[in-house]
Amino acid sequence: MKRLFILTSGTLKRKNNTLSLVTKDGTKYVPITTIKSIYIFGEVRLNKRLLQFLSKNHIPVHFFGRHYLGTFYPRLFNASGFMVLRQVQAYLDPGERVRLARKFVEGAIKNMATVLRENGLGEESVQLRSYLKLQAEDVDSVMGVEGSARSFYFECMDKILPQDFKLVRRTRRPPENMGNSLMSLMNMILYTAVLDEIYQTHLDPRIGFLHSTNFRRFSLNLDVAEVFRPIIVDRLLISMINRREISKDDFEDLTAGLRLTQKGLKTVLSAIDRKLSSTITVKKRKISYSRVIRMELYKVERHLSGDVEYSPFLIR
């Protein structure tokens, strides 16, 4: 099953057991059984009948403008009252919540350190790991450690990236340079890809641990994405730039900040989709990164159930 990316404007309809996208260039049909989730970037019209059809088939729809706008999240068909109670209990227990928060940050820092080592920054990799020794007794302190570690990591990444794509300092809404623009888009896709996988588990995406559960719609996906950002987003960003799969010609400078052109957007979305679908060897089995994310969520479930303590996925 695949992620369906819609970049053009038009009307999305149901045609029996098929989706039809009607645009000025014609009509494209996609069987519903081949779709895992839908990512809409264009100006697309749809109606309640279509949403009912998508909900029945358990297909989330993610909407994007210049930024992530929101998600149509079908009813949680795998929802478990037991698991929701466990999530809430862990969130309300200061000790348990901070333990899980530390694990997510531990995974993020170790994976960031590996990315630096892979790119010839062995000394910096060791320095980054020193952030693991900092004491953090509450979630705010854990977030502070993560923020400091990531700031140092971005400084190190600028030693890897060419001048046009240096992060300089991490900026968002709007991103101020090409490196930040590219990273922001890739992060958004990863956050929603994790959300897709949560939908297939018993977990509730609204109850996170590192990121506070508040009026934000989802937070658990942000927690788990921290572990995978270095593995999926940062590795891919470095690879695409080094291989010149993306260049400054793929960006346009608008008054509201930099933005990828339609061609550049298509290139990046295709690349991250391939990355999520590509396989790695885990315990002598070849599985996709999307499946690895799902397995990570199962590990969180087992931790909350009291079976096995959660340990984050690490690249070697």
Q: Where are the beta strands (DSSP E) in 121-273?
A: 251-254, 257-260
Integer Cα distance of 183 and 163 in angstroms:
15
Residue 291 lies in a domain: yes
Q: Are residues 229 and 200 in the same domain?
A: yes
Residue 178: its pLDDT value, please?
86
pLDDT over threshold 80, residue 253: no
* 177 within some domain: yes
Question: Which of 40, 72, 104 is the last residue in one of the domains?
Answer: 72
Per-residue pLDDT of 181-232, as tens digits, reads 899 999 999 999 999 999 999 999 999 999 988 766 799 999 999 999 999 9
Do 171 and 211 share a domain, yes or no? yes
* Residue that terminates a domain, selected from 37, 72, 107: 72
d(CA 278, CA 292) in angstroms, rounded, equals 11
Residue 311 resides in a domain? no
- CATH number of the domain residue 35 falls in: 3.100.10.20
Q: CA 82, 83, 89 angle in degrees (round to 5)? A: 95
pLDDT for residue 100: 96
Give the phi and the psi of residue 84 in degrees, each rounded to 5.
Answer: -60, -45
For residue 191, is it within any domain? yes
Residue type, 203: L
Q: How many domains does the chain have?
A: 2
Show the tokens assigned to 260. 């990828």
Are 87 and 58 in a shared domain? no
In a domain, 316, yes or no: no
Evaluate whether residue 47 is within a structural domain. Answer: yes
Asked if the peptide bond before residue 312 counts as cis, ω within 30 degrees of 0, the response is no
The length of the chain is 316
What is the model's pLDDT at position 206? 92
Q: Give me the residues paired with residue 141 across strands.
A: none
SS3 101: helix
Q: Are residues 34 and 140 in the same domain?
A: no
251's CB contacts (< 8 A; 6+ apart) are 178, 181, 258, 259, 260, 261, 264
Q: What is the Cβ-side half-sphere exposure of residue 102, based on CA atoms within 13 angstroms?
A: 16
Give the domain range for residue 17.
2-72
* pLDDT band with cut points at 50, 70 and 90 for residue 129: very high
Answer yes or no: are the C-beta atoms of 19 and 32 closer than 8 Å.
yes
278 and 299 share one domain: yes
Averaged confidence pLDDT in the chain: 91
Please give the pLDDT value at position 215: 67
Residues 7 and 115 in one domain: no
The reply to whether 162 and 238 lie within a common domain is yes
Q: Same structural domain for residues 88 and 131?
A: yes
| Within a domain: 315 | no
What mean pLDDT do residues 63-86 have? 87
Are 66 and 37 in the same domain? yes
Considering the domain boundaries, does residue 313 fall inside one?
A: no
Residues 103 and 36 in one domain: no
pLDDT band at 135 (very low <50, low <70, confident <90, very high): confident
- For 299-315, what is the mean pLDDT? 95
Domain finish residue from 28, 49, 72: 72
Q: What is the CATH number of the domain that holds 179?
A: 1.20.120.920
Indicate if 18 and 54 belong to the same structural domain.
yes
105 and 163 inside one domain: yes
